[in-house]
Amino acid sequence: MLGDFDLAEDALQDAFAVALERWPSAGVPENPGAWITTAARHKAIDLLRRGKVRREETAGELLEGDPAAGARVSRSHTQAEEEAIALLESRSGSTLSDDRLRLIFTCCHPALNREAQVALTLHTLGGLTTPEVARAFLLPPATLGQRLVRAKQKIRQAGIPYQVPDVDLLPERLPAVLIVLYLIFNEGYSATAGDDLIRGELCSEAIRLGRILASLMPREGEVLGLLALMLLQDSRRAARISPEGGLVLLEEQDRGLWDQDEIEEGKRLLDEALSLHRPGSYQIQAAIAALHAEAERAEDTDWPQIVALYETLLRLHPTPVVALNHAVAVAMAEGPEPGLALIEEIGRHGFLEDYLHFHSSRADLLRRLHRHAEAREAYRRALDLAGSTPERQFLRKRLDSLDIS
């Protein structure tokens, strides 16, 4: 409604402050979200009116020395502010069918570059902090923060609308939207920081939005592929954490805890996607996840087929992270030595020097090869990069086991 992220965030924070003052004594309202939205709307009107008064005062001061400049300042802001106030006063609540999906498409407007689209959406929709988003991009937080500021300014200055575009315009925004959904899911599936490994609300929200997107674009193979991938990975959620809250690796998980309904739905969606004969990276990743889901025991996993799928994915999406996953699959299919050779080659380029899973994967293969001194060094580097408590505890245990041996 405001067309301005910063102003909207200020109004929302003011509304939260009022809620913290009133709710302890008055009680939590029946619909807290609607209460907050209404309060934020009133706060936004106040902020706009105060801003208008300040600018009119500025214009008055300028008029004394430069009448033309004063008139320009007054005209440049008054019309936009009056329109925003009128809109806010006319809206008693949101009539949007899905606010979050509209926010995704607002942030993923083609006027913004791809990196800014994804970063801004993760920050505003996914609730990720600037350091968490920066880790997803392997960037310093200060650099990422500057890009977020520029993206917000671009949306305000360009007047980018808050809406899902017409169907014919969806494809140009689709790649960024899919990236956003998957990164939100990934942050939920393996949190970058905090006491919990899994943030279930983010996984569920990414899947929910994926279902809505699939209903909008039922003939898009990559939309179906991404939804299938998220469901197949999410099916393992309950088995990834021990009763004590520790991390459980894939090969050690109790497969009886895997959600079979999600597995069946994911496999069905993957079949639908593949039947469209337009393969893409999400479909390939979903096929890899399906092979894991079909193995009744870890030793039954078809690692040679997974290696072949990663080789196909590398041709479509040749990134260092995909190369690392391919190397790990090779280690599982052919042994730790050839897998480690591939990882060392990736490491020589330095792209993953600050990537936790590069060092933890390398450490694991070194451990399996009984190169304990090198494994300790790699585990320590991984520990330096680990943000979540379960990951740190897991890596410390691995280090302790090497010291004992």
Whole-number pLDDT of residue 54? 53
Whole-number pLDDT of residue 368? 95
For 313-347, what is each residue's pLDDT tens digit?
999 999 999 999 999 999 999 999 999 999 999 99
368 phi/psi in degrees, rounded to 5: -65, -25
Q: How far apart are CA 112 and CA 157, in angstroms?
A: 12
Q: How far apart are CA 212 and CA 189, in angstroms?
A: 20
- Name the band, by pLDDT with cuts 50, 70 and 90, for residue 58: very low
Q: Is the pLDDT of residue 56 over 70?
A: no
Total Cβ atoms within 10 A of residue 396: 13
For 352-398, what is each residue's pLDDT tens digit?
999 999 999 999 999 999 999 999 999 999 999 998 899 999 999 99
- Name the band, by pLDDT with cuts 50, 70 and 90, for residue 284: very high
Q: How far apart are CA 70 and CA 315, in angstroms?
A: 59
For 226-251, what is each residue's pLDDT tens digit?
999 999 999 999 999 998 888 999 99
**Three-state secondary structure string covering 156-221:** HHHCCCCCCCCHHHHHHHHHHHHHHHHHHHHHHHCCCCECCCCCHHHHHHHHHHHHHHHHHCCCCH
In this prediction the pTM is: 0.78
